[in-house]
Structure 1
Amino acid sequence: MDLDDQLRRYFGTADLSAVPPQALAAGIEKMQVDLGLERDRARRFALWALLHTLGAAPDLDIAFKDEADRDAARNFMDLAEGSGLPPSSD
């Protein structure tokens, strides 16, 4: 999944600073719905990671049934924290 493609898909632009607050909220809601429907593990993880970056990711035990996926998500969260990405509300 290409990040710019995902941003354009959910927000209409790859520049999040250009997205009005209501459109941002609507895009996040759509992503959360798609996360719940997605069955491909890699696509599901990519959606969750973007939601995490936006501070809107569901808890790991809700998002991932597989322990290995939860561990990968924890690793992502640690890496994101070390990189200066904003923390999620998890």
Structure 2
Amino acid sequence: MSENTNLLNGSLEPVHEQSYDVSPSVAVITAVAEATNRSATEMPPLAEWFDPDALDSLIVSAHDDASVPTVTFEYIGWQVAVTPNYLQIAPQNDG
């Protein structure tokens, strides 16, 4: 992993971390797909959990803000943390 802070629940170690070359919502789908050895087209729509357009808008607009938002959520058994600079994912801890 990089020198970035672990944004996930303290007991979870990120298994994937990346910066963006696509929108944050697409990056989430891609990261979880890669971690689960699936195609991004096989993944359930992110919209079943929340509005991906709102995620993209919040994260992209934050590049111009002094504050740095972190959005954390669960997606198909994975914990996801998204900031304007990168995302982290880890398998959800059931314990």
TM-score, scaled relative to structure 2? 0.27
More helix by share: 1
More strand by share: 2
Structure of higher RCO (CA pairs closer than 8 Å, 6+ residues apart)? 2
TM-score, scaled relative to structure 1? 0.28
